[in-house]
Structure 1
Amino acid sequence: MKASDPPPPSLWRDADFRRLWIGQTASHLGAQAGQVILPLIAVVALSADTQQIGVLRAVQQAPILLLSLFVGAWVDRRRSRNVMVLADFGRTVVLAVVPVAYLLGILDIPLLVLVAFLVGALTVYFDVAYQTSLVRLVSRGRLAQGNSALEGSRSAAQIAGPALGGALVSLLTAPVAIVASAFFFTLSFLSIRRIRRPEPMPAPAVRQARVGRQIRQGLRLIVRDALLRAVGISSALFQFSFAALMTVYLLFLPRTLHLSGAAVGLVLAAMGPGALVGSLLSARLPKRYGYGVVLVSAAVLADGVMLGVPALRGSSTGTIAALMAVNFLFGVFSQLVDVIVVTVRQAVTPISIQGRVVATINFVGMGLTPLGSLLGGCLAGALGLRTSLLLTAVTLALSPLFMALSPLARLGRDLPGTVGEPDG
């Protein structure tokens, strides 16, 4: 679509897109609520100690690193909607085991850990499939609008899901509260399976290729294509730096600024509404000013606002208000970056390899997160929290600096074309 052409009609008029949006939103609500409810079941119903809670939390996240590359290749062999439906159905069944086991008196920590791992694994399948489904459902010219809506609801779920999970545990017994997550997965299953628009089956050559070969194809495409390579490197730099920053930040707020737990929660919650605003802006600004300009500018602004945090002192109302403003702005600009990066990645990646590209970029980004957290902890112990927070905030500039020097900065108001697939 040319920049002078009239904008495409709203996706909200598309019944199939609405079904995808409802399903994706419900799925994220269920996943976010479950991440809170499962550990609370361990604490409240099973009297788990801190080490057991640590293991449970680690097991919830482990499938991202263990399965992402395989899942990316697996999803590319199948219709993405079928994968989402099966993942939702599987999570519903697995979570239903918890209240049943509790009523039978056989619920224990090992069973809860197994449930957490299986739910985490099925969530990886759903997330990779949902990130490939939009490009199979709408035209390239409507990707920005679609991603704006989907990422906005994802941000809302990240705010509402944990709060809903905590509230349900307070109202109900913890093992019964997990039924809420199962309900949301069921709603997602019912909505996505009602999508009517045909989704072609991947070509036989894709379905019959060896998984290892397909994984290498995904890696090779990212390495060879300048835009995808820039997306992968900038995402990895951000995840590494952000993990280091948040490790120090979560210590800085209570120990240096002496904020209460409620105040810390209020400060962090401000990021959510900012992300919603960023999602709305992401559907408009790139078409007006160009994808590259908006992407780099938003990345610089998102990282720049964090540089002011180390200068704050005390726990006054003014300090809390300033921190909320910083987190709100960070949410706005970082969400702009996220939506634009996802849209560009979808536009340049061939449909047949979308899953592998998504999974590879997620794998690289999440793979560096533990190293970033370790760096943040080491800096905090060696240099003190305030100095470490400043240094980790400065490291956030690595991602926008790389973007500014990469082909991403030169993107105009039209989405780039699809790159060729790598040779087998």
Structure 2
Amino acid sequence: MPSSSPSAARSSVWRDADFRRLWAGQSASQLGEHTTLVVLPLVAVLTLHAGAGQLGVLRAVGQAPILLLSLLAGAWVDRWRARTVMVLTDAARAMVLGAAAVAGLLGLLGLPALFVVAFTVGALSVLFDVAYQASLVRLVGRDQLLQGNSALEGSRSAAQIGGPALGGALVSALAAPVAVASGAFFFAVSFVSLRRIRRAESVPHHHERAPRIREGLRFVAGHALLRAVCLASAAFQFSFAATMTVYLLFLPRELHLPGATIGLALAATGPGALLGSVLAARLPGRYGHGVVLVSAAVLGNGALLWVPALHGSSAVTVPALLAVNFVFGTFGQLVNVTVMSVRQAVTPDGMQGRAAATITFAGMGLTPLGSLVGGVLAQEWGLRTGLLVAAAGMMLSPAVMAASPLVRLGRKLPV
């Protein structure tokens, strides 16, 4: 277990070699994930000429594992070593994307193959994401959680810079197999880095009673703060999934932007999220966690309401998109890091995996339905109106937080 001595409390997580290895591996894995999240839909739209309904189905298929596997993933992570789960999922994702790239070279990478790849990578990503959230608690002291989360979420933000830009450029300039293979490379790098972590994890022995899924459900449902996090996350993720489905059609077909420019616009979220990670290490302790959560959600989610109003040449629309995505990235990341620190602070060590998985299940379980709804909105109401309706739905999240105990959280988190 991490030391809780005063000297350990004052030390930086960056002095810990194992934390640096976790950070490097998680950074590479997130870069691979964010590259793939953009590459697969853009390959479908720009190379395979998928329609709105087909794109909605593709995104829903990739998100379905969140609904199907999140709760099981939490129980597994609480039973096994998080590092083992991360290493195995990295290796598997690298192999799946490598096989997809080979299929593309052979002319076999059609929409059915993309559906299979999206589902498989999505399932493995669910396991990895639950495991890396639980691994931090097993690696550093609770007094270092905000600093550690800020660093890890900052790396995720860096992935949001490189992933969309790289993915969009590769899909636009090179063959689809090369774009798909880029994700496999980053997952392989993550595999190597995480394998080098030396510190042993404290996990239950095989003869002990296995963690039960319903205990995680009961714990989260019975905790007022975590229950509010679930509701707010569900409102956000459903609406965001619908928004992104329409968004990925709106940019090339309504604003007539090429793949590389779309990647650049999406990548602007990353620099904003880096700033949000820095702010998350300072603002909650100065102004209170509740005030920061609600204010940041209003500003970040509200920024996307400006996108449907964009018209005109790319000389006008691209700078506006960069500004909107930067603002969304900044305040969205501020919410993400703060919520994760709240969840980790109020959750016992033996419940971390199941609590994270339960919140993921409740918050992101509706994303497949959101993606399908986004496809229907785009097809039936048109891209501009559909995007406006989907983006407006994202404002439900700060409304839920403002009506919950989350808004009353002060500078110090309860433990």
- TM-score bracket, normalised by the shorter chain, equals 0.7 to 0.9
* Alpha-carbon separation, structure 1, partners of 2:69 and 2:218: 19
| Offset of residue 132 of structure 1 | 0.9
SS in 2 for 1:71: helix
Is 1:349 aligned to 2:351, yes or no?
no
One-letter amino acid of the counterpart of residue 68, structure 1: S
One-letter amino acid of the counterpart of residue 160, structure 1: G
The TM-score normalised by the length of structure 1 is 0.80
| Offset of residue 19 of structure 1 | 0.5
| Offset of residue 206 of structure 1 | 6.0
Provide structure 1 residue ranges, at least 5 long, that are not aligned to the other structure: 418-424
C-alpha distance 74-339 of structure 1, shift in aligned 2 (>3 A): same
More off after superposition, 320-329 vs 74-83: 320-329
SS in 1 for 2:148: helix
Are the equivalent residues in 2 in contact too, given 1:303–1:330 (CA < 8 A)?
yes
One-letter amino acid of the counterpart of residue 415, structure 1: L
* Alpha-carbon separation, structure 2, partners of 1:113 and 1:308: 32
1:329 aligns with: 327
* Cα deviation 1:232-281 (Å, max 9, x = unaligned): 0010011122234444555555666x453365554433222211211111
Are the equivalent residues in 1 in contact too, given 2:243–2:374 (CA < 8 A)?
yes
* Cα deviation 1:147-179 (Å, max 9, x = unaligned): 111111112213312443465678886556655
1:421 aligns with: none
2:138 aligns with: 136
C-alpha distance 380-96 of structure 1, shift in aligned 2 (>3 A): closer
Match of 2:189 among 187, 190, 210: 187
Count of residues paired in the alignment: 405
RMSD: 3.7
C-alpha distance 321-291 of structure 1, shift in aligned 2 (>3 A): same
* Alpha-carbon separation, structure 2, partners of 1:108 and 1:247: 21
* Alpha-carbon separation, structure 2, partners of 1:294 and 1:115: 38
C-alpha distance 53-414 of structure 1, shift in aligned 2 (>3 A): same
1:340 aligns with: 338
* Alpha-carbon separation, structure 2, partners of 1:112 and 1:245: 21
Structure of larger gyration radius = 1
C-alpha distance 193-40 of structure 1, shift in aligned 2 (>3 A): same
| Offset of residue 361 of structure 1 | 1.8
C-alpha distance 313-222 of structure 1, shift in aligned 2 (>3 A): same
The TM-score normalised by the length of structure 2 is 0.82
1:11 aligns with: 13
Are the equivalent residues in 2 in contact too, given 1:259–1:315 (CA < 8 A)?
no
* Cα deviation 1:29-69 (Å, max 9, x = unaligned): 2333345666788999xx96748985766544432222222
1:64 aligns with: 66
1:217 aligns with: 215
One-letter amino acid of the counterpart of residue 21, structure 1: W
| Offset of residue 339 of structure 1 | 1.0
Matches within 5 A, 1:104-253: 116-165=118-167, 175=177, 180-202=182-204, 207-208=209-210, 214-250=212-248
C-alpha distance 363-93 of structure 1, shift in aligned 2 (>3 A): same
| Offset of residue 283 of structure 1 | 1.2
* Alpha-carbon separation, structure 2, partners of 1:159 and 1:50: 26
2:290 aligns with: 292
Are the equivalent residues in 2 in contact too, given 1:78–1:207 (CA < 8 A)?
no
* Alpha-carbon separation, structure 2, partners of 1:300 and 1:49: 35
Are the equivalent residues in 2 in contact too, given 1:76–1:206 (CA < 8 A)?
no
1:395 aligns with: 393
| Offset of residue 319 of structure 1 | 4.7
| Offset of residue 216 of structure 1 | 1.5
One-letter amino acid of the counterpart of residue 414, structure 2: P
1:260 aligns with: 257
Is 1:78 aligned to 2:101, yes or no?
no
C-alpha distance 287-181 of structure 1, shift in aligned 2 (>3 A): same
SS in 1 for 2:312: coil
1:31 aligns with: 33
More off after superposition, 32-41 vs 408-417: 32-41
2:3 aligns with: none
SS in 1 for 2:11: coil
1:368 aligns with: 366
| Offset of residue 364 of structure 1 | 2.2
C-alpha distance 206-227 of structure 1, shift in aligned 2 (>3 A): farther
One-letter amino acid of the counterpart of residue 405, structure 2: P
| Offset of residue 93 of structure 1 | 4.2
* Alpha-carbon separation, structure 1, partners of 2:303 and 2:59: 30
| Offset of residue 402 of structure 1 | 1.5
One-letter amino acid of the counterpart of residue 295, structure 1: L
